[in-house]
Amino acid sequence: MITIDRVSKRRGRTQVLHDVTLEARPGRVTGFLGQNGAGKTSTLRVLLGLDRPQRGTALVCGHRYRDLRRPITVVGALLDGSGAHRARTARAHLRWVAASNGLPAGRVEEVLDVVGLTGDAGKRAGRYSLGMSRRLGLAAALLGDPAVLVLDEPVNGLDPAGIRWMRGFLRAQAAQGRTVLLSSHLMGELAEIADDVVVIHRGRILAQGGLAEVTGAHATLEDAFFALTATETGGAW
């Protein structure tokens, strides 16, 4: 369960988030949709305690992220890149993440196997391809077997087989009762996988609800998205 309530964030003179409010529920995949620079990553960074908002609260299962005792057993997060120091091997990276939350080293081998990196675990993270980096990031997110998954553009850099695998994987996670929040600017992709959709544009939430509800009378989610944002901006491109 993720509850974000009226979060506002300013960077320098730019107001990047205006009163962002959204909810992601257990057992459902919630798609967070917006163009580049709309505020998706900023919202997720506030949720994960990486950046501080000027106002508002962002809670996971009723707690602020930074108050969680063993956070990666509650929330698994995948952000830009793998988060591994480039000079470290993938296995060494996962081992320290596991140690930080008191997880057994055996867990590292399990998640390496889940994401298919067992054979490359001895390579330095800086040598990884984009797709491998994403898999490594996902492996770190899965270490603590968390009830909530937060993923920023998870299919970026994955090949078609990887995208298909990710789709099935996230659906299965939601089916097991987990809360899945993923951001994307790929509307077709999101329409395939999400139960609920939240639309953000220029730091404001424009719509949220079930996929059918947000799509409304439009033929596709993409049409609905551009109809929503066009009234706001008069055509972004």
Calpha distance 135→49 (Å, rounded): 23
Smallest distance from another protein to CB 64, Å: 9
In the complex with another protein, which residue's Cβ is closer, 29 or 150? 150
Q: How many helices (H) and strands (E) in the chain? A: 8, 9
Q: Is 125 in the site for another protein (CB under 8 A)?
A: yes
- Closest alpha carbon to 206 in 27, 38, 13, 60: 38
Which residue has 């994403």 as its token pair? 134
The window from 28-36, 125-133, 200-208, 212-220 that contacts another protein (CB under 8 A) reads 125-133
> Please, what is the minimum distance in Å from the beta carbon of residue 133 to another protein?
6
Q: Tell me the backbone φ, ψ of residue 120, rounded to 5 degrees.
A: -110, 10
126 binds another protein, rule: CB under 8 A: yes
Residues facing 103 on adjacent strands: none
- Under a CB-based contact definition with an 8 Å cutoff, are residues 55 and 6 in contact? yes
Shortest CB 131 distance to another protein, Å: 9
Note whether 55 binds another protein by CB under 8 A. no
Name the token pair of 152: 């920023």
71 is a site residue for another protein (CB under 8 A): yes
Contact predicate 165/13, CB 8 Å: no
- Give 80 or 113: the residue with its C-beta nearer to another protein: 80
Which of helix, strand or coil describes residue 20? strand
Single out the segment in contact with another protein by CB under 8 A; choices: 46-54, 106-114, 188-196, 227-235: 46-54
- 121 sits near another protein (criterion: CB under 8 A): no
Interacting residue with another protein among 37, 54, 66, 175 (CB under 8 A): 66
Amino acid making up residue 56: G
| Binding footprint of another protein on the chain (CB under 8 A) | 45, 48-52, 65-72, 75, 77, 79-89, 92-93, 95-97, 99-102, 125-126, 128-130, 133, 140, 157
